[in-house]
Amino acid sequence: MLLICPVGIETEMEVLPGKTVSPYRAGTWISAETPFPSPGDEAYISAVAGDWLAATHSEMDIYRAWRQAALSEMRSLARAKIMDDSALQAPTETERDALTAGAAALREKAAKDRDDMDRVRAFAISRGIVPPGD
């Protein structure tokens, strides 16, 4: 995004002919995080950006929600594997049990993340959007 929007380098940039805004504001619009910028709406957009995404269910927001769940699932499964491997070499039964329980909890979290991914995909399909993860 910094190649397109010189955040921290320029104070304004032209997003459309005759339409200039801050590079940061342009970047949030280009990446579909906020609606199209209008003069003087910086404070308003900053205040409602999250609500705007939630209210519109923009395609980018749907894909971001799926990606967030997918990354969470991947991290949980990776951490569970590390705990399982550590449990095999734990010096005491108490440590082994704790690591095994921790790994099981992480696998449960990963399953919930997978359910979230499936819900996001179903929502995308219901909106006529190509579902993320294909």
Query: The tokens of 93 are what?
Result: 């039964």
Those residues whose C-beta lies under 8 Å from the C-beta of residue 125, and which sit 6 or more positions away, are: 131
For residue 124, how many other CB atoms are within 10 A of its CB?
21
Residues 49 and 63 reside in one and the same domain: no
Give pTM, 2 decimals: 0.66
Residue 20 in any domain: the answer is yes
- pLDDT tens digits in sequence order for the chain, 134 residues long: 778 989 888 899 998 898 888 888 888 888 877 777 665 566 655 666 555 555 556 777 888 889 999 999 999 999 999 999 999 999 999 999 999 999 999 999 999 999 999 999 999 899 898 999 86
Residue 134 in any domain: the answer is no
Residues 67 and 41 reside in one and the same domain: no
107/75 Cα distance (integer angstroms): 10
Number of compact structural domains in the chain? 2
